[in-house]
Amino acid sequence: MGETPNHRDLEDGIQKDFSRSMSYGDYLRLDVLLSAQQPLSDPPQHDELLFIVQHQTSELWLKLMVHELRSARALLRTDDLSPALKRLARIKHIQHTLTDQWSVLATLTPSEYAEIRPFLATSSGFQSAQYREVEFLLGNKSADMVKVHAHDADAQDVLAELLHEPSLYDEFLAHLARQGYAVPSRLLTRDFSQPHVSDSELVDVFAGVYAAPGEHWGVYETCEELVDVEDAFQQWRFRHLQVVQRTIGHKVGTGGSSGVDFLRRALDLTFFPELYEVRTRIGQ
C-alpha cells in the first residue's frame, strides 16, 4: 500500500513487538513517572494537575543540575577545566528551562490557585532539598536550612555533607591557587560551612585576569561562565517572585515564610561577589 497525503506506512524494520524487548516506556519507567501525579483536591480541581506537573518537572531538572554541578566541582578539583566548562554550559541551559517554566504556572490565576491552596497544607517549594543542594553547591550555605529537613534523614545527611564541603567556587579558587594565582590562603582553608564573603585581594587577582584576557583565557572564560550561572539563577529567582506576587499577592507562603518579601530578599544574595566587583575596576 503506498503512502497517501495524511498517512505514512510503518517501515518494515520498525520494532512492533515489545513482549520480549525493552520499549521506550520501559526504559523511562513511564509507568512510575506518569502515576506520580496524585491530586488531593476534593472535589477535584482542574488546575491542580498543572501545579503538580510544574513542580515535579522542576525537581527533575534540579536533579540534573545537581548532577552537573557535582561533576563540574569534581573536575575543577582535578584541574580538568575544559570538561568543567562543558558542565557549566549545560547547567545554564537547564536554568533557562526552569525559568521559562514559570510562564506556564503564571497562567494559574489567583482565583484558580485559591481553589487548590488548602490541599497543599504546609508544603512549600522552600522545602525542596534538591533546590537547597544547588544553593549549597553554588556557595549559599546555611546550617538552619539543614534543620528544615530533619523529617527526611537522607536529605538531611546529603545537605549536612554539602554544608561542610567546598562549593563550586571554593574549588575554582583552589584550582587558581594550584595554577599559581595569588589566591589568599585564608580562602583555601576557611570554614566551608559558612557562605563565602567578598575578599578585596581576590578582586585584585581577577582584575589581573580581566586586564589581559588573552593571557588567562581559561580562567577568564570560567569567570564569565560562573557569572552567566549566577545571572541565570537571579533571573529564576526574580521570575519566581513575579509569579508568586501575581498569584497570591503579599499573603504568607504555605510554608510559613513572608512570601513575596522573603523572595525579594533573596535577590540580594550573591554566589561569586568578586566576579561582579571586579567589573568596577575594568578600564580604570
Determine whether the annotation assigns residue 262 to a binding site. no
Determine whether the annotation assigns residue 53 to a binding site. yes
Determine whether the annotation assigns residue 250 to a binding site. no
Whether residue 202 contacts residue 226, with contact meaning beta carbons closer than 8 Å, is answered with no
Determine whether the annotation assigns residue 216 to a binding site. no
Residues 124, 125, 130, 132: is their CA dihedral positive or negative? negative
Task: Render the burial of 169-194: b for 16+ CB within 10 Å, e for the rest.
Answer: bbbbbbbbbeeebebbeebeebebee
- The vertex-88 CA angle with 266 and 162, nearest 5°, equals 60
Determine whether the annotation assigns residue 113 to a binding site. yes
Q: Assign residue 139 a region: left if phi > 0, alpha if psi is -120 to 50, beta otherwise?
A: left
How far the first Cα of the chain sits from its last, in Å, is: 75
Q: How many CB atoms lie within 10 A of CB 1?
A: 5
Determine whether the annotation assigns residue 55 to a binding site. yes
* Residue ranges at the known binding site for heme: 240
* Residue ranges at the known binding site: 51-55, 113, 117, 240, 254
* Residue ranges at the known binding site for substrate: 51-55, 113, 117, 254
